[in-house]
A and B are shown apart, each in its own frame.
Chain A
Protein backbone atom coordinates (compact mmCIF):
# COMPACT_ATOMS: atom_id res chain seq x y z
CA UNK A 1 0.00 0.00 0.00
CA UNK A 2 2.88 2.34 0.72
CA UNK A 3 4.64 1.57 -2.54
CA UNK A 4 5.71 4.25 -4.96
CA UNK A 5 2.98 6.63 -6.07
CA UNK A 6 2.06 5.90 -9.68
CA UNK A 7 -0.30 7.42 -12.21
CA UNK A 8 -2.97 4.96 -11.12
CA UNK A 9 -3.05 6.40 -7.60
CA UNK A 10 -3.82 9.85 -8.94
CA UNK A 11 -6.37 8.55 -11.45
CA UNK A 12 -8.25 6.56 -8.83
CA UNK A 13 -8.20 9.52 -6.43
CA UNK A 14 -9.53 11.72 -9.22
CA UNK A 15 -12.31 9.23 -9.91
CA UNK A 16 -13.22 8.99 -6.24
CA UNK A 17 -13.54 12.77 -6.05
CA UNK A 18 -15.53 12.80 -9.29
CA UNK A 19 -17.82 10.09 -7.92
CA UNK A 20 -18.42 12.04 -4.72
CA UNK A 21 -19.35 15.08 -6.79
CA UNK A 22 -21.64 13.03 -9.03
CA UNK A 23 -23.34 11.43 -6.04
CA UNK A 24 -23.80 14.89 -4.55
CA UNK A 25 -25.49 16.17 -7.69
CA UNK A 26 -27.72 13.10 -7.71
CA UNK A 27 -28.78 13.43 -4.08
CA UNK A 28 -28.69 17.07 -2.99
CA UNK A 29 -31.51 19.42 -3.96
CA UNK A 30 -29.91 22.70 -2.86
CA UNK A 31 -28.75 24.44 -6.05
CA UNK A 32 -25.77 26.03 -4.26
CA UNK A 33 -24.49 22.66 -3.08
CA UNK A 34 -25.05 21.21 -6.54
CA UNK A 35 -22.87 23.94 -8.04
CA UNK A 36 -20.17 23.16 -5.49
CA UNK A 37 -20.41 19.53 -6.57
CA UNK A 38 -19.83 20.65 -10.17
CA UNK A 39 -16.70 22.49 -9.00
CA UNK A 40 -15.63 19.30 -7.25
CA UNK A 41 -16.02 17.28 -10.45
CA UNK A 42 -14.12 19.88 -12.49
CA UNK A 43 -11.30 19.73 -9.96
CA UNK A 44 -11.24 15.95 -10.13
CA UNK A 45 -10.84 16.13 -13.90
CA UNK A 46 -8.09 18.73 -13.42
CA UNK A 47 -6.24 16.31 -11.17
CA UNK A 48 -6.41 13.61 -13.86
CA UNK A 49 -5.14 16.08 -16.49
CA UNK A 50 -2.22 17.18 -14.34
CA UNK A 51 -1.38 13.59 -13.39
CA UNK A 52 -1.22 12.58 -17.05
CA UNK A 53 0.82 15.70 -17.81
CA UNK A 54 3.38 14.73 -15.17
CA UNK A 55 3.51 11.08 -16.10
CA UNK A 56 3.86 11.67 -19.82
CA UNK A 57 6.37 14.46 -19.27
CA UNK A 58 4.54 17.09 -21.33
CA UNK A 59 2.95 20.24 -19.95
CA UNK A 60 -0.02 20.32 -22.32
CA UNK A 61 -2.26 18.78 -19.67
CA UNK A 62 -1.52 21.65 -17.33
CA UNK A 63 -2.56 24.14 -20.01
CA UNK A 64 -5.82 22.21 -20.37
CA UNK A 65 -6.28 22.43 -16.60
CA UNK A 66 -5.86 26.20 -16.90
CA UNK A 67 -8.65 26.33 -19.44
CA UNK A 68 -10.83 24.21 -17.17
CA UNK A 69 -10.19 26.68 -14.34
CA UNK A 70 -11.16 29.64 -16.54
CA UNK A 71 -14.31 27.85 -17.67
CA UNK A 72 -15.12 27.03 -14.05
CA UNK A 73 -14.84 30.71 -13.17
CA UNK A 74 -17.20 31.65 -16.01
CA UNK A 75 -19.59 28.88 -15.04
CA UNK A 76 -19.64 29.94 -11.40
CA UNK A 77 -20.26 33.60 -12.29
CA UNK A 78 -23.15 32.87 -14.65
CA UNK A 79 -24.59 30.08 -12.53
CA UNK A 80 -24.62 32.12 -9.34
CA UNK A 81 -26.17 35.07 -11.17
CA UNK A 82 -28.93 32.78 -12.45
CA UNK A 83 -29.38 31.43 -8.95
CA UNK A 84 -29.80 34.97 -7.58
CA UNK A 85 -32.38 35.77 -10.27
CA UNK A 86 -34.29 32.55 -9.54
CA UNK A 87 -34.19 33.20 -5.81
CA UNK A 88 -35.73 36.65 -6.33
CA UNK A 89 -38.67 35.08 -8.14
CA UNK A 90 -39.27 31.90 -6.17
CA UNK A 91 -37.67 32.64 -2.77
CA UNK A 92 -36.03 29.22 -2.81
CA UNK A 93 -32.88 27.50 -4.08
CA UNK A 94 -34.45 24.04 -4.02
CA UNK A 95 -34.26 22.69 -7.56
CA UNK A 96 -37.37 20.54 -7.03
CA UNK A 97 -39.44 23.71 -6.73
CA UNK A 98 -38.13 25.20 -9.98
CA UNK A 99 -40.70 23.44 -12.14
CA UNK A 100 -42.55 26.11 -14.10
CA UNK A 101 -41.41 24.54 -17.37
CA UNK A 102 -42.44 21.03 -16.37
CA UNK A 103 -45.04 19.63 -18.76
Chain B
Protein backbone atom coordinates (compact mmCIF):
# COMPACT_ATOMS: atom_id res chain seq x y z
CA UNK B 1 0.00 0.00 0.00
CA UNK B 2 2.77 2.38 0.96
CA UNK B 3 4.59 1.37 -2.20
CA UNK B 4 1.55 2.21 -4.32
CA UNK B 5 1.10 5.62 -2.69
CA UNK B 6 4.79 6.44 -3.20
CA UNK B 7 4.58 5.32 -6.81
CA UNK B 8 1.56 7.49 -7.58
CA UNK B 9 3.10 10.54 -5.93
CA UNK B 10 6.37 10.10 -7.83
CA UNK B 11 4.55 9.37 -11.10
CA UNK B 12 2.31 12.43 -10.76
CA UNK B 13 5.32 14.61 -9.99
CA UNK B 14 7.26 13.30 -12.98
CA UNK B 15 4.32 13.81 -15.36
CA UNK B 16 3.58 17.32 -14.05
CA UNK B 17 7.24 18.28 -14.41
CA UNK B 18 7.38 16.87 -17.94
CA UNK B 19 4.21 18.74 -18.89
CA UNK B 20 5.69 21.95 -17.52
CA UNK B 21 8.72 21.46 -19.79
CA UNK B 22 6.53 21.19 -22.87
CA UNK B 23 3.50 23.42 -22.34
CA UNK B 24 4.15 26.93 -23.71
CA UNK B 25 2.82 28.94 -20.73
CA UNK B 26 5.41 27.39 -18.42
CA UNK B 27 8.08 26.34 -20.88
CA UNK B 28 8.25 29.60 -22.81
CA UNK B 29 11.23 30.74 -20.81
CA UNK B 30 13.91 28.05 -21.24
CA UNK B 31 15.07 28.49 -17.64
CA UNK B 32 11.62 27.52 -16.36
CA UNK B 33 11.64 24.51 -18.69
CA UNK B 34 15.09 23.47 -17.42
CA UNK B 35 13.97 23.72 -13.79
CA UNK B 36 10.85 21.68 -14.58
CA UNK B 37 13.09 19.09 -16.23
CA UNK B 38 15.26 18.92 -13.09
CA UNK B 39 12.10 18.25 -11.06
CA UNK B 40 11.14 15.41 -13.40
CA UNK B 41 14.64 13.93 -13.18
CA UNK B 42 14.52 13.96 -9.37
CA UNK B 43 11.15 12.20 -9.36
CA UNK B 44 12.55 9.65 -11.80
CA UNK B 45 15.49 9.10 -9.45
CA UNK B 46 12.94 8.33 -6.75
CA UNK B 47 11.29 5.81 -9.07
CA UNK B 48 14.69 4.20 -9.68
CA UNK B 49 15.07 3.80 -5.92
CA UNK B 50 11.65 2.11 -5.83
CA UNK B 51 12.89 -0.26 -8.54
CA UNK B 52 15.88 -1.06 -6.27
CA UNK B 53 18.33 0.57 -8.67
CA UNK B 54 19.97 2.68 -5.98
CA UNK B 55 23.26 3.24 -7.78
CA UNK B 56 21.48 4.32 -10.95
CA UNK B 57 19.36 6.73 -8.90
CA UNK B 58 22.51 8.31 -7.47
CA UNK B 59 23.95 8.59 -10.96
CA UNK B 60 20.70 10.11 -12.18
CA UNK B 61 21.02 12.91 -9.65
CA UNK B 62 24.76 13.37 -10.15
CA UNK B 63 25.04 13.06 -13.92
CA UNK B 64 21.67 14.27 -15.16
CA UNK B 65 20.61 16.87 -12.64
CA UNK B 66 24.16 17.73 -11.69
CA UNK B 67 25.97 17.82 -15.03
CA UNK B 68 23.71 17.75 -18.07
CA UNK B 69 21.14 20.20 -16.73
CA UNK B 70 23.89 22.53 -15.50
CA UNK B 71 25.22 22.47 -19.07
CA UNK B 72 21.73 23.36 -20.33
CA UNK B 73 21.34 26.23 -17.88
CA UNK B 74 24.86 27.44 -18.68
CA UNK B 75 24.01 27.61 -22.40
CA UNK B 76 20.65 29.25 -21.71
CA UNK B 77 22.39 31.98 -19.74
CA UNK B 78 25.13 32.28 -22.37
CA UNK B 79 22.54 32.82 -25.11
CA UNK B 80 20.61 35.26 -22.90
CA UNK B 81 17.48 35.19 -25.06
CA UNK B 82 15.12 38.14 -24.88
CA UNK B 83 11.41 38.37 -25.62
CA UNK B 84 11.25 38.40 -29.44
CA UNK B 85 14.13 35.90 -29.79
CA UNK B 86 12.14 33.36 -27.82
CA UNK B 87 9.61 33.21 -30.63
CA UNK B 88 5.90 33.55 -30.35
CA UNK B 89 3.90 30.91 -28.56
CA UNK B 90 1.36 30.57 -31.34
CA UNK B 91 -1.01 27.63 -31.26
CA UNK B 92 -1.52 26.51 -34.83
CA UNK B 93 -3.56 23.68 -36.24
CA UNK B 94 -0.44 21.81 -37.32
CA UNK B 95 0.96 21.92 -33.81
CA UNK B 96 -2.24 20.65 -32.25
CA UNK B 97 -2.51 17.89 -34.85
CA UNK B 98 1.10 16.76 -34.43
CA UNK B 99 0.84 16.74 -30.64
CA UNK B 100 -2.39 14.77 -30.92
CA UNK B 101 -0.75 12.29 -33.29
CA UNK B 102 2.22 11.82 -30.95
CA UNK B 103 -0.01 11.26 -27.93
CA UNK B 104 -2.29 8.93 -29.91
CA UNK B 105 0.66 6.77 -31.00
CA UNK B 106 2.04 6.49 -27.49
CA UNK B 107 -1.44 6.02 -26.04
CA UNK B 108 -1.99 3.02 -28.31
CA UNK B 109 1.35 1.55 -27.22
CA UNK B 110 0.52 2.15 -23.56
CA UNK B 111 -2.87 0.49 -24.00
CA UNK B 112 -1.18 -2.56 -25.50
CA UNK B 113 1.28 -2.74 -22.63
CA UNK B 114 -1.47 -2.29 -20.06
CA UNK B 115 -3.72 -5.00 -21.47
CA UNK B 116 -0.84 -7.49 -21.73
CA UNK B 117 -1.55 -8.48 -18.14
CA UNK B 118 -0.02 -7.52 -14.83
CA UNK B 119 3.53 -8.64 -14.18
CA UNK B 120 4.51 -8.44 -10.52
CA UNK B 121 8.13 -8.02 -9.57
CA UNK B 122 10.24 -11.16 -9.55
CA UNK B 123 11.50 -12.09 -6.10
CA UNK B 124 14.97 -10.69 -5.71
CA UNK B 125 17.80 -13.21 -5.73
CA UNK B 126 19.67 -13.95 -2.53
CA UNK B 127 21.52 -10.98 -1.11
CA UNK B 128 18.56 -8.71 -1.74
CA UNK B 129 20.14 -5.43 -0.76
CA UNK B 130 22.87 -6.01 -3.33
CA UNK B 131 20.51 -5.83 -6.32
CA UNK B 132 21.16 -2.63 -8.20
CA UNK B 133 23.98 -1.66 -5.89
CA UNK B 134 27.45 -0.62 -6.94
CA UNK B 135 28.78 -4.14 -6.67
CA UNK B 136 26.25 -5.88 -8.89
CA UNK B 137 26.28 -3.24 -11.60
CA UNK B 138 30.07 -3.01 -11.62
CA UNK B 139 30.35 -6.80 -11.96
CA UNK B 140 28.34 -6.62 -15.18
CA UNK B 141 29.90 -3.41 -16.42
CA UNK B 142 33.50 -4.55 -16.10
CA UNK B 143 33.04 -8.15 -17.22
CA UNK B 144 30.25 -8.69 -19.70
CA UNK B 145 30.07 -5.10 -20.98
CA UNK B 146 33.71 -4.12 -20.80
CA UNK B 147 34.06 -3.39 -24.52
CA UNK B 148 30.97 -1.15 -24.76
CA UNK B 149 32.10 0.58 -21.58
CA UNK B 150 35.47 1.43 -23.09
CA UNK B 151 33.82 2.50 -26.34
CA UNK B 152 31.55 4.85 -24.41
CA UNK B 153 34.59 6.44 -22.78
CA UNK B 154 36.09 7.03 -26.24
CA UNK B 155 32.74 8.44 -27.38
CA UNK B 156 32.69 10.90 -24.48
CA UNK B 157 36.22 12.03 -25.32
CA UNK B 158 35.20 12.55 -28.96
CA UNK B 159 32.11 14.46 -27.85
CA UNK B 160 34.18 16.78 -25.67
CA UNK B 161 36.62 17.49 -28.50
CA UNK B 162 33.80 18.08 -30.97
CA UNK B 163 31.98 20.37 -28.57
CA UNK B 164 35.09 22.50 -28.07
CA UNK B 165 35.88 22.56 -31.78
CA UNK B 166 32.32 23.55 -32.76
CA UNK B 167 31.56 26.04 -30.02
CA UNK B 168 34.77 28.06 -29.93
CA UNK B 169 35.07 31.22 -31.95
CA UNK B 170 36.84 30.74 -35.26
CA UNK B 171 40.49 31.66 -35.33
CA UNK B 172 41.93 33.14 -38.49
CA UNK B 173 39.06 35.53 -39.00
CA UNK B 174 40.03 38.91 -37.60
CA UNK B 175 43.28 37.59 -36.23
CA UNK B 176 45.54 38.59 -39.11
Contact = CB atoms under 8 A, between A and B. Distances in A.
Interface of A is mostly: helix
Interface residues of A, number: 74
Interface in A62-83: 62-63, 65-67, 69-78, 80-83
A78 B156 contact: no
B85 A93 contact: yes
Contacts of A8: 113-114, 116-119
A46 to B, nearest CB: 7
Contact of B118 (A2, A6, A35, A67): A6
Contacts of A20: 15, 18-19, 21-22
Interface string B14-49: 110011011010010010011001001100100110
Nearest to B90: A29
A13 B14 contact: yes
B125 interface: yes
A11 B110 CA distance: 7
6 closest Cβ contacts across the A-B interface? A19-B106, A24-B22, A74-B159, A26-B98, A81-B167, A81-B163
Interface of B: 1, 3-5, 7-8, 11, 14-15, 18-19, 21-22, 24, 27, 30, 33-34, 37, 40-41, 44, 47-48, 50-53, 55-56, 59-60, 63-64, 67-68, 71-72, 75-76, 78-79, 81, 85-87, 95-96, 98-99, 101-103, 105-107, 109-110, 113-114, 116-125, 131-132, 136-137, 140-141, 144-145, 148, 152, 155-156, 158-160, 162-164, 166-167, 169
